[in-house]
Amino acid sequence: MPHSADDTRTRRYGWRDPRPGAAAAQRMSGLDYMTAMMKGEIAAGPIMDTLAFRLAAVGDGFAAFECEPKEFAYNALGSVHGGLPATLIDSAASCAVHTKLPAGTGYTTVNLAVDMIKPITEAAGTLRCEGRVVRAGNRIAVADAELKGADGTLYARGSATCLILPPPKRPG
């Protein structure tokens, strides 16, 4: 079916500069940093604005994100692209790891495993992805996450393995 001008949609959004938040991460524990982000005191990562999800809860070894899936995240087959649940699982799991880290300690996801359980459309309503740390060592941490609807329907689950990045050694 040919494309027509009247089926075009537009989406506009903005985001806050992430650099001050990245600098704050050097001074704050992971839990304090994530709490400040949830309260809006530190800018969230721009990916959260791009995909329209938000940090909903944090705790020791725990992070939860929420979103209402919209058509802008659809694939050509008429359901949410798998990148959205994968991003939510990576975010919830890795941010749960972040809550366990001392000030100045970073991390990066080195492995992400995602199982897509059920297709997602706008009809799913609010989705919540909860991540929980399974094990946090000095160099490697593992966390699991589940993406569910408000009615408890499981849409996706997964895990992230994170490499812990200690603060750089200061000369002297």
Distance of CA 160 to the CA centre of its chain: 11
Helices assigned H by DSSP within 54-82: none
**Inside any domain, residue 144:** yes
* Arithmetic mean of pLDDT, 38-53: 95
* Arithmetic mean of pLDDT, 50-71: 97
**Inside any domain, residue 7:** no
pLDDT of residue 172: 64
**CB of 120 closer than 8 Å to CB of 81:** no
Quote the mean pLDDT of the chain: 94
Q: What is the DSSP string of 92-157?
A: HHHHHHHTTPPTT-EEEEEEEEEEE-S---GGG-SEEEEEEEEEE-SSEEEEEEEEEETT--EEEE
CA distance 169 to 172: 9
* Arithmetic mean of pLDDT, 104-112: 96
Domain residue limits at 127 = 16-165
Q: What is the CATH number of the domain that holds 160?
A: 3.10.129.10
Backbone angles phi, psi at 115, to 5 degrees: -110, 120
pLDDT of residue 3: 59
**Inside any domain, residue 142:** yes
168 — pLDDT class (breaks 50, 70, 90): confident
**Inside any domain, residue 6:** no
Residue 171 has pLDDT above 80, yes or no: no
Give the total number of structural domains in the chain.
1
